């Protein structure tokens, strides 16, 4: 990031009156025009982070900065930040225009200005024809758009979204994800979105912040997070991962040879300056789709016994056991003969060349 970040959490902690730790010493920089998602299990501090950015919550220690300016003490309405709440928080007795224009009327804009900006905001979210509709007559997806228009109408520098799509059914949700991403790209506004849906975070974010117990585990692009989880928590949380306990056979600056049960991996080290000692314990991460399965013996493939299978539409997930009690998940395209994967069947498995990463246990 060449420029200063737009939004910065600087060593922010939040301890509630109850003694519960909401956030613990969190540092986070969000760039101009970025789409950042906060992802993590329930109670990890996502909403708390968003409320601190919005000004609904004060940190116990640390600072919130916008464009280098300390805004920690600024009230929500004095920050150029707007929030879309999970339940949309629309006023049911007002029509769409009144809902969207509410923030502008508080700012004492003229009626003509309010009308123009409300119309623009509704056009942005594709709801111009519903301007005089009662909110109670709208569908879930339409309400979601009204909430979005209401937050965007004040032209915030940062838009905060707390689980904005969680009330929508799967199809509508997917459609709104695409729309949200398009809208953000078009406006160039910085979006910070809370979600506990990893598919959603992976598909629409520029960067993802993975949180766990009030701390940040990793901040990375979706592809980096998927391909190179930095911690065991992230490896387990993002996608499906085989985590194999093993030990280092030999480690040089170029490659680490690791044995995990009967399998051997040659792994390019992430940090060539830090080779582990031979014999040290190591954890190998490999995705189910990075392992090839054969119904009959094949060069370099190890025998394994099928325990069970799960049908996932485009592919089949095979749960198998290799020697030494090591369990393995393998994803295979469905064209492979299903009969080969009856429980108890013998199959042959081989990690794809260059796949697998090492984590220190």
Ligand X SMILES: Nc1ncnc2c1ncn2[C@@H]1O[C@H](COP(=O)(O)OP(=O)(O)OP(=O)(O)O)[C@@H](O)[C@H]1O
Nearer CB in complex with ligand X: 15/243 = 15
φ/ψ bin of 284: left (φ > 0), alpha (ψ from -120 to 50), beta (otherwise): beta
Determine if 77 is a binding residue for ligand X (CB under 6 A).
Answer: no
Q: Is 212 in the site for ligand X (CB under 6 A)?
A: no
Q: Which is nearer to Mg ion, 87 or 250 (CB)?
A: 87
- List the one residue out of 287, 285, 289, 290 whose CA is nearest residue 357: 285
Residues counted in the chain: 361
With CB under 6 A as the contact rule, the residue among 37, 47, 144, 189 that binds ligand X is 47
Site residues (vs Mg ion, CB under 5 A): 47
**Cα-based distances in Å from 272 to 61, 253, 256, 269, 358:** 37, 5, 10, 6, 12
Report the alpha-carbon distance of residue 327 to residue 319 in Å, rounded.
Answer: 7
**Closest distance to ligand X from the beta carbon of 38 (Å):** 8
- In the bound state with ligand X, the residue whose beta carbon lies nearer, of 17 and 271, is 17
C-beta atoms surrounding 32 within 10 Å? 16
30 binds ligand X (CB under 6 A): no
Kindly state whether residue 261 participates in binding ligand X, applying the rule CB under 6 A.
no
E strands in 301-351: 302-311, 315-321, 327-333, 346-351
What is d(CA 139, CA 327) in angstroms, rounded to the nearest whole number?
46
Q: Minimum distance from CB of 47 to Mg ion (Å)? A: 3
Rounded to the nearest whole angstrom, what is the least distance from the CB of residue 48 to Mg ion in the complex? 8
Q: Please select the residue that binds ligand X; options are 2, 3, 42, 273, rule is CB under 6 A.
A: 42
From residue 187 to residue 206, the character string flagging contacts with ligand X as x (rule: CB under 6 A) and all else as - is ---------x----------
Q: Quote the tokens at residue 25.
A: 């010493």
**Near ligand X by CB under 6 A, which window of 13-21, 106-114, 131-139, 168-176?**
13-21
**Closest approach of Cβ 237 to Mg ion, in Å?**
16
* Helix/strand/coil percentages in the chain, nearest 5: 30, 35, 35
CA angle 233, 291, 220 (to 5 degrees): 35
CA 164 to chain centre: 14
> Are the CB atoms for 225 and 208 separated by under 8 Å?
yes
Q: With CB under 6 A as the contact rule, which of the stretches 37-45, 58-66, 274-282, 300-308 interacts with ligand X?
A: 37-45
Q: Which is nearer to ligand X, 42 or 69 (CB)?
A: 42
Residue 171 touching ligand X (CB under 6 A): no
- Nearest residue (CB) to ligand X, 48 versus 83: 48
Q: Which does 43 bind (CB under 5 to 8 A by kind): ligand X, Mg ion, none?
A: ligand X
Residues at the contact surface with ligand X, assessed by CB under 6 A:
16, 18, 20, 22, 40, 42-48, 196
């Amino acid at each position: 990031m060449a420029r200063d970040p737009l939004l910065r959490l600087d060593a922010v902690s939040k301890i509630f009156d109850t003694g519960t730790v909401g956030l613990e010493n969190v540092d986070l920089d969000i760039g101009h025009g970025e789409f950042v998602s906060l992802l993590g299990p329930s109670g990890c501090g996502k909403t708390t982070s968003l409320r601190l950015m919005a000004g609904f919550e004060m940190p116990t220690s640390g600072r919130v900065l916008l464009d280098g300016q300390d805004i920690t003490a600024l009230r929500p309405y004095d920050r150029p930040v707007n929030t879309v709440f999970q339940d949309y928080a629309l006023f049911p007795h007002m029509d769409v225009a009144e809902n969207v224009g509410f923030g502008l009327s508080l700012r004492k804009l003229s009626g003509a200005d309010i009308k123009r900006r409300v119309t623009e905001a509704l056009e942005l979210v594709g709801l111009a024809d519903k301007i005089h509709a009662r909110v109670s007559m709208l569908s879930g997806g339409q309400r979601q758009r009204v909430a979005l228009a209401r937050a965007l109408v004040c032209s915030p520098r940062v838009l905060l979204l707390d689980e904005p799509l969680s009330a929508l059914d799967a199809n509508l949700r997917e459609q709104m994800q695409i729309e949200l991403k398009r809208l953000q790209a078009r406006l160039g506004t910085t979006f910070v979105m809370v979600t506990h849906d990893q598919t959603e975070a992976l598909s629409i974010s520029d960067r993802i912040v993975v949180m766990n117990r009030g701390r940040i585990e990793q901040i990375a692009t979706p592809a980096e997070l998927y391909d190179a989880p930095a911690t065991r928590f992230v490896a387990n949380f993002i996608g499906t991962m085989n985590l194999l306990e093993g030990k280092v056979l030999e480690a040089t600056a170029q490659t680490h040879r690791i044995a995990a049960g009967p399998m051997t991996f040659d792994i390019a080290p992430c940090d060539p300056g830090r080779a582990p000692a031979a014999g040290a314990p190591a954890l190998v991460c490999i995705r189910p789709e990075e392992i090839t399965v054969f119904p009959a013996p094949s060069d370099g493939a190890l025998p394994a016994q099928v325990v069970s299978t799960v049908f996932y539409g485009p592919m089949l997930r095979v749960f198998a056991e290799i020697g030494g009690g090591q369990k393995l998940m393998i994803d295979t395209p469905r064209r492979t003969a299903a009969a080969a994967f009856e429980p108890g069947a013998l199959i042959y498995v081989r990690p794809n060349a260059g796949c697998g990463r090492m984590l220190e246990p």
